[in-house]
Structure 1
Amino acid sequence: MCSKQNIYDNETFFNGYKALRADSVNYNILLEQPIFRKLLPDLIDRYVLDVGCGMGDSCIFYEKIGAKKVIGIDISNKMISEARRRTNSEMIKYYNTDMCDIEKLETRFDVITSSLAVHYIQDFDSLLKSVYHSLNSGGYFIFSQEHPLTTAPLQGVEYTYNENGDVIHYNLSDYMYSGIRKVEWFVDDVIVYHRPISEIINLLIQNNFIIEQIEESTPSNNALAQCPDMSKEFHKPSFLFVKAMKK
């Protein structure tokens, strides 16, 4: 069973998330998206699916750089409504559906992307099977997720600081214990699923993907200038990125 929590339809959570993304100094704009977009292949005349599309920012970008058809899916009705409101293109379609129901679209894609969504999935193996089935031969699955170093500690993210308030190191624990983590983000008990990197990579291999590239979030000088707190990324990256191809 490939289940995903629909926390984004919680009014408090949605409003908090929307306000966060409206601020130009945030981790998505300065850190996650620049790395993610460098992994994209040429999208000219390609069919693209964005899984967990949120408010449609990536779908709009894909169409802008030449994609022939773009579909965005998200389990959150609030997100899909916002994406439709922001989008002015007949080449982009949005569907309010679970990311585990990709095969129901009955479309084959050249590229399937997912930005910071797969850590909400309980059964990553089932998702990979659906993605593989829905890709054309030689197609790409490119995704980012919360880094397993971030999701690992059962007690949440903690750092050790010196007397001057500088980070000495990140406090890592529980890394090899896969499973549910409950975190506080706008609301209590947001559920994410922790998997060590070896589990993620082996599931991709077992589902016949060829792993072409892996990246971990490292801030640019520009990002550090705007958000000095991102220096913590050198102790513990926030995001993991994978580019994999269907054989």
Structure 2
Amino acid sequence: MKENKYDDKHFFEQYSEMPRSKEGLSAAGEWHEFKKLLPDFDGKTVLDLGCGFGWHCIYAAEHGAKKVVGIDLSERMLAEAKQKTTSEVISYEQKAIEDVEVEPEAYDVVLSSLAIHYVASYQDICKKVHTNLKTNGKFIFSVEHPIFTAEGKQDWYTDEAGNKLHWPVDHYFDESIRTTNFLGKEVHKYHRTITTYIQTLLKNGFQINNVIEPEPAPELKDLPEMQDEFRRPMMLIISASKL
């Protein structure tokens, strides 16, 4: 399934008002941990899968990358990314992650931020990334945490007064599509276990470097919208290297 809600005008306008959309990486609760895993970009070639507004592409270019390619299915996303981008080393391509070209050993680094859980075949992505990376190249990505996606609705259980009681985790081992409501639209995602995220990388020739369940950055800890993130993990970040 190649779902593209972001070219819906109303949906895109709502997404554009989110803090991470308006303020960039500094407003993303996981960025302080994701950033620690990034390699030295000096002279590197970089591919960003599901680049969105291009924040990670811009960061890589600002830190010395010689070539950065960002791909995204959304025309509106890429238009915004191009508007924000001034570096000539960055190029953007409109395509689904599933359709990324096979380019053996073309990249030193492959990044992806909160996009792979929209892709039906994680196995295929791991194979393609491994092929496209140079030996010792880095694959660093974030996804919605399996605890966050497992039950499906992605909402708290509440009491009669609306107080949040607990986060439901159910059907954890049922790796299949989930349907949830995001910004007023029905969105489809693929739930996978932590075992699948890690073992699939290992089976496809990667070495696992880091696995992180990030809490919000200290400077964001008092923001009302970040309080839920201290009660259950929302994201999972994995860094791996091609052997």
- Asked if these proteins are the same fold (TM beyond 0.5), I'd say yes
CA distance in 2, matches of 1:77, 1:105: 23
Superposition pairs for residues 105-144 of structure 1, below 5 Å?
A: 108-144=106-142
Distance in 2, Cα, partners of 1:162 & 1:176: 30
> Which structure 2 segments of 5+ residues have no match?
none
Unaligned runs of 5+ in 1: none
- Paired letter, 2:57: C
Q: 1:74 to 1:22 in 2, by over 3 A?
A: closer
Please list the CA deviations of residues 128-153 of structure 1 after superposition, one character each: whole Å capped at 9, or x if unmatched: 11111100000010000111111111
Partner residue, 1:62: 60
- Which amino acid is the alignment partner of residue 235 of structure 1? R
Note if 1:231 corresponds to 2:227.
Answer: yes
SS in 2 for 1:103: coil
Q: Does residue 242 in structure 1 map to residue 238 in structure 2?
A: yes
Please state whether the residue corresponding to 1:110 is helix, strand or coil: strand
Query: What CA RMSD, in Å, does the superposition of the two structures yield over aligned residues?
Result: 2.3
SS at match of 2:29: helix
Task: Please give the TM-score of this superposition, normalised by the length of structure 2.
Answer: 0.91
Contact kept, 8 Å, 1:53 with 1:74, in 2: the verdict is yes
Which residue of the partner structure matches residue 182 of structure 2?
Answer: 185
- How does 1:88-237 map onto structure 2 within 5 Å? 88-104=86-102, 108-159=106-157, 165=163, 169-225=166-222, 227-237=223-233
Q: Aligned pairs, how many?
A: 242
AA matched with 1:242: I
Kept in 2, the 8 Å contact 1:52–1:74? The answer is yes
Q: 1:148 to 1:89 in 2, by over 3 A?
A: same
Amino acid at match of 1:19: E
Please give the alpha-carbon distance, in whole angstroms, between the structure 1 residues aligned to 2:42 and 2:71.
21
1:33 corresponds in structure 2 to 31
Equivalent in 16, 19, 23 of residue 18 of structure 1? 16
Question: Does the CA-based 8 Å contact 2:208-2:239 persist in structure 1?
Answer: yes
Instruction: Tell me how far 1:207 sits from its aligned partner.
Output: 0.8
CA distance in 2 between partners of 1:27 and 1:231 (Å): 19
Deviation at 1:57? 1.1
Aligned residue type for 1:90 = E
Identity of aligned residues (%): 37
> What is the alpha-carbon distance in structure 2 between the residues aligned to residue 219 and residue 87 of structure 1?
27
- 1:65 and 1:221, CA in 2 relative to 1: closer, same or farther beyond 3 A? same
**Which residue in 1 is equivalent to 2:79?**
81
Residues in 2 aligned to 1:154 and 1:100: alpha-carbon distance in whole angstroms: 23
